[in-house]
A = this chain, B = another copy of it.
């Protein structure tokens, strides 16, 4: 059983060609992807609408998580730390202004923040922008 199948059966989702293709594409690309990225790559495999629905389903089941961005495009990633059972989004994202790729820096701990009173926080996201190791 491949990695994609394991992920799907873990989450009790039906194993379909489209879903495997989406997971495989994320596994092959370590940076965050948009729906149009997937659509371009998988146009021979499945429909545009199917990709939207797969993304929705994967978000609900904790296979994908949203990645913050400043340019108004919604990005998604399948992080190392999210491939096993505990799903935690609390990590740092780095967007390279040269290659445009956003990657998850799982190894960097999220710093603690002192919030104003009466604010409760459920999710932390940090987005750094600059030049990545490859482009510098």
- Within 8 Å CB of A126, what residues of B? 113, 124-127
Contact B117 A133 (CB under 8 A): yes
| Interchain CB contact under 8 A, B119 and A114 | no
Chain B residues within 8 Å of A66, by CB: 70-71
* Cα separation A40 to B21 with both chains bound (whole Å): 40
Taking the complex as formed, is A115 at the interface, i.e. its CB lies under 8 A from any CB of chain B?
yes
A74 touches B71 (CB 8 A): yes
Interface string of A118-133 (1 = CB under 8 A from B): 1111111111111111
**CA of A120 to CA of B120 in the docked complex: distance in angstroms?**
32
Q: B130 contacts A119, CB within 8 Å?
A: yes
Structural contact, A136 and B119, CB atoms closer than 8 A:
yes
Add 8 more A-B contacts to A94-B115, A107-B116 (CB < 8 A): A68-B127, A92-B113, A119-B130, A119-B131, A122-B130, A123-B129, A125-B127, A125-B129
Give chain A's interface residues, CB within 8 Å of chain B: 66-74, 92, 94, 97, 105, 107-108, 111-133, 136
